[in-house]
């Protein structure tokens, strides 16, 4: 039987892309899912699809920049499933632009969602996992958390931060709680829709011609969860074969 079977798993950013593909895959493997994002119409449809295929899922409307909403997400997961085995901090945005475009509001939004959202998720589940002396926190970083690209300084900085937070978490609570970084390259999702700068959009669209499907990332996440509890997959880098 799959190690995913019966696990209570929270996925943020489950309304599209990598989160949605991961929800479908983990549901097929018998996970009990709590799906979170802002677009509740998408989540409602996804839960119905998972349930009609025999899976177990529910959803909660959550903006990860709102700490109280993330806390409420953990609370209702505990009420629903009695435990939290895995948190997948996946919600993120990528409104890339050169720094001299001075899109300061977009910088703030990117930091709030991509960094603070991840920290709020960790804060919401960590006390329960420490009490249970077991748990797994999976943070979605990026190839952009390893290398800075022109026009992507702020986005890259958030993904460098996600990797630092995950590694710190591993060092501090790793005796019982697993910490995994998943670092994708170009994946065909709605992520590029948030780019408001036409020049940046043009450059990114050229890169994304080689993008791989979100199901490939879902498989990497499943692999990390499926390992026996004494095995912590620290990081998986996964990108299109042709990506630099």
- Of 8 and 139, CB closest to ligand NDP: 139
19 is an interface residue for ligand NDP by CB under 6 A:
yes
First to last CA, the chain: 38
Is 155 catalytic? The answer is yes
93 is an interface residue for ligand NDP by CB under 6 A:
yes
- Of 49 and 63, CB closest to ligand NDP: 63
Instruction: At 93, list the tokens.
Output: 């945005």
Instruction: At 13, list the tokens.
Output: 């950013």
Quote the CA–CA distance of 57 and 8 in Å, as a whole number.
10
55 is an interface residue for ligand NDP by CB under 6 A:
no
- Of 16 and 180, CB closest to ligand NDP: 16
DSSP labels for 60-126?
EE--TT-HHHHHHHHHHHHHHHS---EEEE---------GGG--HHHHHHHHIIIIIHHHHHHHHHH
Site for ligand NDP, residues 199 to 218, rule: CB under 6 A: 214
58 and 31 Cβ atoms separated by less than 8 Å: no
Please select the residue that binds ligand NDP; options are 77, 97, 142, 179, rule is CB under 6 A. Answer: 142
For tokens 């170009």, name the residue.
186
- Segment contacting ligand NDP (CB under 6 A): 23-31, 78-86, 97-105, 181-189? 181-189
- Segment contacting ligand NDP (CB under 6 A): 99-107, 122-130, 179-187, 221-229? 179-187
**Bridging pattern class, strands 8-12 and 86-89:** parallel
> Active-site residue among 149, 155, 208, 223?
155
Please select the residue that binds ligand NDP; options are 189, 222, 233, 240, rule is CB under 6 A. Answer: 189
135 and 84 Cβ atoms separated by less than 8 Å: yes
Residues that bind ligand NDP (CB under 6 A): 12-19, 37-39, 62-65, 90-94, 113, 140, 142, 184, 186-187, 189-191, 214
Active site residues: 155
């Amino acid at each position: 039987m799959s190690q995913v079977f019966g696990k209570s798993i929270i996925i943020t950013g489950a309304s599209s892309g990598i989160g949605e593909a991961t929800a479908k895959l983990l549901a097929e493997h018998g996970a009990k899912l709590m799906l979170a994002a802002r677009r509740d119409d998408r989540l409602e449809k996804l839960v119905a699809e998972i349930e009609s295929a025999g899976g177990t899922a529910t959803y909660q409307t959550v903006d990860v920049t709102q700490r109280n909403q993330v806390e409420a997400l953990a609370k209702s997961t505990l009420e629903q499933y009695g435990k939290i085995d895995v948190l997948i901090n996946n919600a993120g945005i990528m409104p890339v632009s050169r720094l001299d475009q001075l899109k300061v509001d977009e910088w703030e939004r990117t930091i709030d969602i991509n960094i603070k959202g991840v920290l709020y998720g960790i804060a919401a589940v960590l006390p329960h996992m420490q009490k249970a002396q077991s748990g797994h926190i999976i943070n979605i970083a990026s190839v952009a958390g390893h290398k800075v690209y022109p026009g992507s300084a702020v986005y890259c900085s958030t993904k460098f931060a996600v990797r630092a937070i995950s590694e710190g978490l591993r060092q501090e609570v790793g005796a019982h709680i697993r910490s995994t970084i998943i670092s994708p390259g170009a994946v065909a999702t709605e992520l590029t829709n948030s780019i408001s700068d036409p020049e940046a959009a043009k450059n990114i669209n050229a890169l994304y011609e080689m993008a791989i499907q979100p199901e490939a990332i879902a498989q990497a996440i499943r692999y990390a969860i499926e390992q026996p509890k004494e095995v912590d997959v620290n990081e998986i880098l996964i990108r299109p074969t042709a990506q630099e």
